[in-house]
Structure 1
Amino acid sequence: MTDTATVHRLAPAVAARLLGVVLCTVAVLILLGTLAIAVLDLHTLFLLVPVTLTIALLVATWWAWRQKGWVARLTPEGYRIQWVRGVGAASGRWKDVEDAVTTTVAGSPVVVLRLRDGRTTTIPVEMLATDREAFVRDVQDHLQRGHGLRKW
């Protein structure tokens, strides 16, 4: 384990579901443009507006997933979680983490980081493109190092 940040990206299945939502939004946008052309008897050149917006939305989506497509970022000082509803404390320092446990919530495996002030961070492992055991080991390594413990 190194002293650098570890990034755990969004699982492909979850990214595909999010992309499906974006594509449905794009389809509705083009449909509305087409209906506006038909009903209001607009020039077909008007269809370039939703097409341009569609291209802009797809480029913005690609850029967002490229830059922010990670779920968990573990650094030597602490952690940060994003894209997770109901995560609890989305970030914290390792020194503030009392312990880490694995459990299931609603039938899905999660890692729960319990903080000293009573808050928790819940990380659903199925959202990660990382192997479950590898993620748990990575969290344990960061937690041990954050508390000043070294592996022998």
Structure 2
Amino acid sequence: MSAQDPQQQTVDYRLAPLVTARFVGLYLVMLAVLVFAATAVVFATGWSGDILLVLALVGLVGLGGAGWWLRTHAYVLRATPDGYTVRMIRGAGVKAARWTQVEDAVTTTIHDEPCVVLRLKDGGTTTIPVSVLAVDNDQFVVELQQHLQRGHRLK
């Protein structure tokens, strides 16, 4: 679901819960590998095992912080009255543009994923896989069209 009503100034489209869970899972795997490596170092050097406890606690606090930030502050698309900014998507193409630079928006499927492609007047494109957003696909397309129409009226 979008963070705000699309009629307001700025709307942030956040990560879908499943995508957030993937990031948290990746963090947990990396923390486990780090603790495993630290365990080997502690064993080999004879250092105190308290280091492992501190490392694990710091890692868990980091996990909570990362999960909170991903859920409340990380966004995939920020739509403002003037334009948009895309983050956290590799291969999105043009990461930011003004609405007046957008020729049109089309829906398509890329690698079996539903996407919205914003085609720019200069030939560039921005591709947004809709499945990574915490908003209904149809609702997102409607809201994006509204942003685009308002942006073109502000010319």
- Please report the TM-score for the alignment, with normalisation by the length of structure 2: 0.88
The DSSP-based 3-state class of the residue aligned with 1:147 is helix
Aligned residues: percent identity?
Answer: 44
Matched, 1:86 2:91: yes
Q: How far apart are residue 95 of structure 1 and its match?
A: 0.4
Aligned length: 149
Taking the TM superposition and a 5 Å limit, the aligned residue runs for 1:25-104 are 25-66=30-71, 68-104=73-109
Q: How far apart are residue 51 of structure 1 and its match?
A: 2.2
RMSD, matched Cα: 1.7
Structure 2 residue ranges without an equivalent (≥5): 1-5
Structure 1 residue ranges without an equivalent (≥5): none
- Please report the TM-score for the alignment, with normalisation by the length of structure 1: 0.89
Q: For 1:117-149, what per-residue CA distance to the aligned partner results, in whole angstroms no more than 9, with x for missing partners?
A: 110000000000100000000110000010108
Q: How far apart are residue 50 of structure 1 and its match?
A: 2.0
The DSSP-based 3-state class of the residue aligned with 1:112 is strand
Cα distance in 2, alignment partners of residues 55 and 20 from structure 1 = 12
The amino acid that maps onto 1:139 is L
Taking the TM superposition and a 5 Å limit, the aligned residue runs for 1:128-143 are 128-143=133-148
In the alignment, what sits opposite 1:7?
12
